[in-house]
Amino acid sequence: MTFDRKLTIDADAFFDDRLGTSGVPRASVAALAPRLTVLRERLDAWRRGDAPSYFGLPFAGEEKEFTRRAREFAGRFARTIVFGIGGSSLGGEMLVRILGGRRHPVTFYDNVDPTTLAELDRVDWRETLLIVISKSGTTAETLAQLLTVLPALEASLGANKLRQHILAVTESPQGDLARIASALGCEVLHHPAVGGRYSVLSVVGLLPAALAGVDIEALLAGARDMATRCLAPKLESNPALFQAATQYLHAERGRTLCVQLAYADRLRPITRWYRQLLAESVGKIDASGSPRGLTPIDAHGTTDQHSQLQLYLEGPDDKQFTLLYDPTLATRGLRVDARFAELPAVAPLSGHTTGELFHAEFRATRETLTRRKRPNRTLSLGADASALGELIILLETETVALAELLGVDAFDQPAVEEGKQLTRDYLRSG
């Protein structure tokens, strides 16, 4: 089958031929190839399924089963609520908000702020499916969410029916979440042995997405296409490894802030998902004991032209930019009324659609960044399942490659344990 690629990458303004001395030479990027050989081989092994990995998820072949289960649940329930935090919610929420329909609303609760949780008082649990996701089975926020609403569910449904309304997703059947679910008689779905921030293409993201009507088969087809391209042995032909090596070189020159600037309201949830992916994967101490890390920053066009652009253009040269752009917007929107065209500020707008204005503003921002020698690239995609699948594997694999180049483990998060212990201590001492 030929695959109609829907994600395009334009990274010209990362390089010296476009950006002068502020760009990096393509030859310097190519010279990093030996440092990524081992990772390239690991991707191969992950692709074959030798070990559980985010990279093998698109090839797991579970999408038909998730689609079938989702259809069954959507027939029985009017809506789904998901309890989860961090990697247990950001990926699924991204898929649902970008691609989901209105027929079966799927809502995510990722905090324990009591003001927000008070909304749950108004839920009619008789027609609601509750999915509770915690890889470890011990996440304090998620367990607290479940155990504060449980009495309301029991009161509304009775203990017998309750079991049909709750699904738990967790890795170990011996973990606390699995034990609670079993005690209540609820089904437990297996969370694969893949870190939360890399779990979006597993049950964690796919089941909520399928419930919201997302075409997860197209999503995974796009993901498989990108994964295959990311196995290319030659660095220049390998999108993720080449892009990561380029970003690494900019970071080595002090551009350690990675601004992801979404030009399309619907693409904004990507930036929330990505900032966890990047920050937790690369922000840590390397083998020599030095702190490493790139800081993700999420921004949105055109709004942030009136908020952050001044800093981006004239502030310190400590940033590199990824613009996410939806080219389909250019042909949409209402037309500016033809009256008042004699006014100087209206004249250039007159007769144009808001989509044309949006497109012109995107182009102007990109060009201004380039003229000011700020390294930038554009990833173009519509709100389209296969394109989003491509983007997910691209950004995940770039992140793993950045961690490899920075000399840190992409898959752990050792520093956050101390806070979890302190939280328990404070609760005990009141």
Q: Which of residues 135-174 bind a second copy (CB under 8 A)?
A: 137-141, 143-145, 147-151
Which residue is associated with the tokens 């101490």?
285
Q: Which is the catalytic residue, given 93, 141, 280, 404?
A: 280
* Smaller CB separation from a second copy, 105 or 333: 333
Q: 38 vs 364, which CB is nearer to a second copy?
A: 364
Candidate ranges 17-25, 160-168, 387-395, 420-428; the one touching a second copy (CB under 8 A):
420-428
Tokens of 74: 């959507």
In the DSSP assignment, the letter for residue 334 is: P
**Residues 324 and 258 sit within 8 Å (Cβ to Cβ):** no
Handedness of CA 35, 37, 43, 45 (dihedral sign): negative
Sole window of 12-20, 106-114, 236-244, 390-398 interacting with a second copy (rule: CB under 8 A): 106-114
Tokens (6 digits) for 234: 């030659």
Check if 190 is active-site.
no
Query: Considering the complex, what minimum distance in angstroms separates the CB of residue 248 from a second copy?
Result: 15
Nearer to a second copy, 63 or 280 (CB): 280
C-alpha pair distances (Å), 380 with each of 164, 256, 330, 360 = 42, 23, 12, 15
Q: How far is the CB of 186 from a second copy (least distance, A)?
A: 13
* Least distance to a second copy, CB of residue 199, Å: 13
Q: Is residue 371 a contact point for a second copy (CB under 8 A)?
A: yes
Structure tokens, 24: 């990096």
Instruction: Identify the residue among 38, 45, 193, 416 touching a second copy (CB under 8 A).
Output: 416
The CA distance from 280 to 339, in Å, is 52
Known catalytic residue at 63: no
Catalytic residue among 161, 190, 234, 420: 420
Question: How big is the chain by its Cα radius of gyration, in Å?
Answer: 23
Q: Which helix (H) or strand (E) holds 285?
A: strand 284-285
Does position 117 interact with a second copy (CB under 8 A)? The reply is: yes
> DSSP readout, 174-192?
TSHHHHHHHHHT-EEEEPP
Site size toward a second copy, by CB under 8 A:
115
Q: Is residue 289 near a second copy by the rule CB under 8 A?
A: no
Annotation says 306 is catalytic: yes
Which residues, numbered 245-274, are part of the site for a second copy (CB under 8 A)? 256-257, 264-266
Is the separation of the CB atoms in 194 and 52 below 8 Å?
A: yes
Query: How many Cα atoms sit within 13 Å of 404 on the Cβ side?
Result: 23
CB of 285 to a second copy, least distance (A): 5
Measured CA to CA, the distance from residue 201 to residue 198 in angstroms comes to 8
Contact set for a second copy, span 325-364 (CB under 8 A): 329, 332-337, 339-340, 343-346, 348-350, 352-361, 363-364
When the beta carbons of 201 and 258 are compared against a second copy, the nearer one is 258
* Residues involved in catalysis: 280, 306, 420
